[in-house]
Chain A
Amino acid sequence: QVQLQESGPGLVKPSETLSLTCTVSGGSISSYYWSWIRQPPGKGLEWIGYIYHSGTSSYNPSLKSRVTISVDTSKNQFSLKLSSVTAADTAVYYCARVGNWGLVDWGQGTLVTVSS
């Protein structure tokens, strides 16, 4: 079981870019697919996208135009960038390891609030 930890600003201004990093420990980032998921306060889970260490990626069609997920194998990290954010992007953001197309290991989540 690997451990994941999200990090990044907890407050982002409208129209700016949200940037988060997930640090993986206890395993190599080169061995699995990795994903980002978010959960607006009081609402359900929304899949954002996933990436493989080779750079192969897939995104939620509803967010695809604003999302970039990248991987840094030297740091055992992967990152999320979401551009042109609005209040609707306020959520707890989780990173997770993908296994058998399920989300096996999860980070604790980090709340990102979009507000001026």
Chain B
Amino acid sequence: QSALTQPPSVSGSPGQSVTISCTGTSSDVGSYNRVSWYQQPPGTAPKLMIYDVSNRPSGVPDRFSGSKSGDTASLTISGLQAEDEADYYCSSFTSSSTLVFGGGTRLTVL
């Protein structure tokens, strides 16, 4: 299985919005609403931020939102804050009953 495709890096200034894309295929993102997003600050374990495309676990700020169109899912962070600087990964359930991650995107808050 091939990794989902994410941009290597994105950046934004405090208060702005940024969007990170996650492109898969009709065998994963395009066929299942089982896309999740994770935040990983340096030196820490990943944290689930979004599940099932657009649902936030308890405690995740509503500045984080998710969506999907066709084979591409997106994570949008609005009202960017310095603490949002981290690596972000998407994952999807697949038609082979496996999970697959994206390559990761480094978010820099300018």
A residues apposed to B, CB below 8 Å: 35, 37, 44-47, 50, 58-62, 94, 99-104, 106-109
Which chain A residue lies CB-closest to B52? A100
Knowing A35-B99, A45-B101, A100-B51, the reply to whether A109 touches B89 (Cβ < 8 A) is: no
Please determine whether B98 and A102 come into contact, CB atoms closer than 8 angstroms: no
> What is the number of contacts between chain A and chain B, taking CB atoms within 8 Å?
68
Contact flags (1/0) for B31-72 with A, using CB distance below 8 Å? 010101010100001111011100101000000000000000
Which chain A residue lies CB-closest to B36? A102
Please determine whether B45 and A44 come into contact, CB atoms closer than 8 angstroms: no
Which chain B residue lies CB-closest to A106? B45
A45 to B91, CA, bound (A): 10
Knowing A100-B51, A101-B93, the reply to whether A107 touches B45 (Cβ < 8 A) is: yes
Given contacts A44-B101, A47-B100, 18 further A-B contacts (CB under 8 A): A45-B91, A47-B91, A58-B96, A58-B97, A60-B98, A61-B1, A61-B98, A99-B51, A100-B34, A100-B36, A101-B34, A101-B99, A102-B36, A102-B50, A102-B52, A103-B48, A103-B91, A109-B45
Please determine whether B89 and A44 come into contact, CB atoms closer than 8 angstroms: yes
